[in-house]
Structure 1
Amino acid sequence: MDITKLTPSKHGSEIHHNTCFGCGKENPLGLGADFTFDDESGEVRFIYNFRKFYNGAPTFVHGGILSTLLDESMGDLCFHLGFIVMTDTMSFKFHKATPVEKDLLVRAWPVRRAKRKVFLECELSSTDGSILYVKGEGVFHILPPRFFSEKLTGEKNSVAFDLLSVNKLNRAHLFDRISS
């Protein structure tokens, strides 16, 4: 396939399997998040509304679900940048209890790349950014492409390498903004 005719990814589900907990469209128990890449800002950026089934304390999102959404956001950012990754480490600071059934802004952006690792930050806030609910950071280990093709792509294996290549080709300049 001629990758110059492909469009870089915009959504996490373009390469993940349909039952992925984060973005799978056929997972009724999953988050069903979009993980949209914003070419202008160079980050994953989207509005998300937690269903009431993700309660920890009544009317507030469970911390593990918050961590999962932000972990997935950073991991999907790596995919949009052309890398297949596995979470190495991550940490979060929970600033305020996060409400369910309210539109919230999710963001994840690259900080730097060093050898086989990508360093990222993320946050969850009100849609206007005035209330910060969670701020986090993560380190992701870059996996060899063969791991992805053998283990993770399922029915989308035929497009995986091409889409990763076009993502990396079209978004390599984003690493120019961060230290290597």
Structure 2
Amino acid sequence: MNNQILNPSLHGYEIHHDTCFGCGKENPIGLGADFTFDDQSGEVKFTYNFKKLFNGAPNFVHGGILSTVLDEAMGALCFHLGYIVMTDTMSFKFHKATPVQQEHLIRAWPVKKAKRKVILECELTSTDGQVLYVKGEGAFHILPPRFFSDKLTGGKIAVASELLAVNKLKRAHLFDRISNT
């Protein structure tokens, strides 16, 4: 790459390909979510307004869409922490029906890093955090670098590889706050 200093990623689309269902800006039927990393809290944290076309029951978001956005939030957090991952397991507790066409707060944070896994938690709430709609957890396999290819990044592999290295270096301290095994 060039000699400019690379800052850690802040948005999911900085690493993923442009047609990614979760964050791709060129996917007309995708979520188009930002998956923003918050350096102060050490988590993915952003607001999202579910379109009416994501209805399950009328005026409420389909559970599969909720699961998808939370899976993507946890996966994006892994990238922001410097890891190439694949979802291993996820579970969600749906506390209340989530209304469409209204802003919601989505958060994902690290819980533990094991030898080849990252364990995370996530939640979807009202923007003020007072109403909990969905709470979840996931385990993500850490993949070796050979899995990181042009297919995943949509041709951004050189930038994405360096960005992952910078993310891991600059954010390694976040795992000091949680238990490591």
Which TM bucket (shorter chain)? over 0.9
Q: Which runs of 5+ in 2 are unaligned?
A: none
SS of equivalent residue, structure 1 residue 118: strand
Tell whether the 8 Å contact from 1:149 to 1:160 is kept in structure 2 after alignment. Answer: no
Gap change, CA 1:150 and 1:27, over 3 Å in 2: closer
Residue by residue, what CA displacement relative to the aligned partner does 1:106-132 show, whole Å, maximum 9, x if unpaired? 000000011100000000000000000
How many residues align? The count is 180
Amino acid at match of 1:134: V
Counterpart for residue 105 of structure 1:
105
Poorly superposed stretches of 4+, deviation over 6 Å:
none
Amino acid at match of 1:149: S
Distance in 1 separating the partners of 2:39 and 2:72: 18
Amino acid at match of 1:71: D
Counterpart for residue 89 of structure 2:
89
SS of equivalent residue, structure 1 residue 41: coil
Q: Which runs of 5+ in 1 are unaligned?
A: none
Distance in 1 separating the partners of 2:115 and 2:81: 15
Amino acid at match of 1:114: A
1:5 and 2:5 matched: yes
Distance in 2 separating the partners of 1:83 and 1:2: 23
Amino acid at match of 2:7: T
Gap change, CA 1:50 and 1:141, over 3 Å in 2: same
- Identity, % of aligned positions: 77
Distance in 2 separating the partners of 1:82 and 1:125: 26
Query: Which has the higher mean CA deviation after the structures are superposed, 2-11 or 87-96?
Result: 2-11
Distance in 1 separating the partners of 2:165 and 2:67: 29
Distance in 1 separating the partners of 2:12 and 2:93: 25
Counterpart for residue 65 of structure 2:
65
Q: TM-score, normalised by structure 1?
A: 0.97
